[in-house]
Amino acid sequence: MNFKVENFDILKTCSFTGHRSQKLPWRFNENDKRCLAMKAILKNHIEEAIQKGYDTFLSGMALGFDMICTEIVLSFKQKYKDVKIVGVLPCKNQDIKWAESQRVRYRALIEQLDYIRCENDHYTGPQCMIERNRFMIDNSSLLIALFNGLPGGTKSTIEYAKSKGTNIVIIKP
């Protein structure tokens, strides 16, 4: 895995935050009609951001919403040649406890990223997730979130984004 760092134009950079698969109503079934509807809404928001000049997208590459966002941005790279997708990893071994099918998906996406930033060599506890999320907010002016309203990392990230004056688009699962 190649780990690279890139400088971002904050005014042209969008971050993502959202729930992991386990917390979503459809869990891991991305063919569920609710997930398909969410993906259509998400795709529209991402394309709207691109049309407004956003060309760099930051993904935490977690299970669930992050990986879906990454796949959608990658699908736009053919149509919009300047679009870049950056993986902002909390640690190099983020996928160590995931199911093999999820690890395969993750590693295939990692190979397609334009850049990778890694906050820590190894998992250091929840703090490394917070560091990753704060880096993304500190380096973007738009946040697209999938949020069910409940406490957790997604809510904390949205609250941090609000405190920084970041524009926020919230999608309900």
**Domain CATH number, residue 56:** 3.40.50.450
pLDDT of residue 2: 42
Q: Say whether pLDDT at 49 is over 80.
A: yes
Using pLDDT thresholds of 50, 70 and 90, give the confidence band for residue 1.
very low
pLDDT of residue 6: 60
Q: What percent of the chain has pLDDT over 90?
A: 92
E strand intervals along the chain: 13-18, 56-59, 84-89, 115-118, 142-146, 167-171
- Read off the pLDDT of residues 120-152 as tens digits, 9 standing for 90 and up: 999 988 999 999 999 999 999 999 999 999 999
- Whether 85 maps to a domain, the answer reads yes
pLDDT of residue 5: 53
Q: Say whether pLDDT at 57 is over 80.
A: yes
- Whether 135 maps to a domain, the answer reads yes
- In the Cβ-directed half-sphere of 2, how many Cα atoms lie within 13 Å? 10
What tokens were used for 94?
């983020």
Q: What are phi and psi of 84, to 5 degrees?
A: -125, 145
Contact between 65 and 19 under an 8 Å Cβ cutoff? The reply is: yes
pLDDT of residue 10: 94
- Whether 94 maps to a domain, the answer reads yes
Q: Say whether pLDDT at 3 is over 80.
A: no
pLDDT of residue 7: 72
Using pLDDT thresholds of 50, 70 and 90, give the confidence band for residue 25.
very high
- Whether 64 maps to a domain, the answer reads yes
Which residues constitute the domain of residue 125? Answer: 10-171
DSSP per-residue codes, 107-131 = HHHHHH-SEEEES-SS--SHHHHHH
Q: Say whether pLDDT at 40 is over 50.
A: yes
Domains identified in the chain, total number: 1
- Whether 2 maps to a domain, the answer reads no
Strand order across the 115-118 sheet: 115-118, 84-89, 56-59, 13-18, 142-146, 167-171
- Whether 167 maps to a domain, the answer reads yes
- Read off the pLDDT of residues 73-132 as tens digits, 9 standing for 90 and up: 999 999 999 999 999 999 999 999 999 999 999 999 999 999 999 999 999 889 999 999
